[in-house]
């Protein structure tokens, strides 16, 4: 059959798009756009979140920190480090002085014992974990890191409370230099707080005293 002199079947009539189809297509397009915007928002927010915490805790702002000394009624001295920008403070019995630490640590302290006694060293540092982890997972990570770097042997992990939060204390055996390490860890959100104490293995009374005051040594605002 020929139509207007052209051979073959006649062309199909153009498809007619109903108003309902147009509405459905607009709805699908809108949903896709919203999903893309939401995804970009989540990615951008996560990137900002990571950048904020890495910047804040990777290079500690020391502009407002203080190191002070107090005496009780019996004239026993204690040393308090405070950094209000991070809402953290550390109080230790005795007279402690600063030692150099990395830029991602809050503070390093050394006590002032008699000249015949080895010194105790303390360091308080934060660690940005990215996402909140269980305190057990953080303790296990610390145990593995210290054992690998210093070849220490983990003797036990004990549960305690520091700053009103669930915490773990890691006990390591003495090294070849007759020194012992304690590590305490607890967290608040994506930040783990790590207190490292390094001192003479045979100073049993001092270790016992430091262990006893550990739950009250750190405060968070």
Question: Are the CB atoms for 57 and 104 separated by under 8 Å?
Answer: yes
Please give the share of the chain, as a percent, with pLDDT higher than 70.
Answer: 69
Percent of the chain with pLDDT over 90: 29
- Strand, coil or helix: 98: strand
Number of helices (H), then strands (E), in the chain: 3, 13
Q: List the chain domain ranges.
A: 21-58, 66-220
User: In 10 A of CB 132, how many CB atoms?
Assistant: 14
Q: What is the pTM of this model?
A: 0.73
pLDDT in tens, 151-170: 668 889 999 999 989 999 99
Would you identify the CATH topology of the domain 66-220? Protein Transport Mog1p; Chain A (3.40.1000)
Q: What is the residue whose two structure tokens read 């605002």? A: 221
């Amino acid at each position: 059959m020929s139509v207007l002199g052209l051979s073959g079947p006649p062309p199909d009539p153009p498809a007619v798009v109903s108003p309902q189809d147009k509405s459905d297509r607009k709805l699908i397009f809108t949903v896709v756009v919203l999903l893309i915007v939401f995804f970009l928002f989540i990615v951008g927010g996560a990137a900002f979140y990571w950048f904020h915490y890495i910047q804040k805790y990777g290079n500690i702002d020391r502009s407002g920190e203080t190191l002070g000394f107090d005496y009780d009624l019996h004239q026993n001295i204690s040393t308090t480090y405070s950094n209000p920008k991070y809402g953290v403070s550390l109080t230790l019995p005795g007279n402690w002085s600063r030692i150099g630490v990395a830029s991602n640590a809050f503070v390093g302290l050394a006590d002032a014992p008699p000249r015949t006694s080895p010194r105790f060293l303390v360091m308080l540092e934060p660690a940005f974990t990215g996402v909140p982890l269980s305190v057990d997972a953080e303790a296990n990570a610390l145990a593995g890191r210290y054992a690998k770097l210093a070849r220490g042997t983990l003797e036990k992990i004990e549960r305690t409370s520091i700053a009103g939060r669930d915490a773990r204390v890691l006990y390591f055996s003495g090294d070849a230099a007759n020194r012992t390490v304690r590590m305490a860890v607890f967290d608040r959100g994506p930040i783990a707080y790590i207190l490292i104490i390094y001192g003479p293995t045979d100073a049993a009374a001092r270790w016992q005293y430091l262990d006893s005051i550990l739950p009250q040594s750190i405060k968070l605002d």
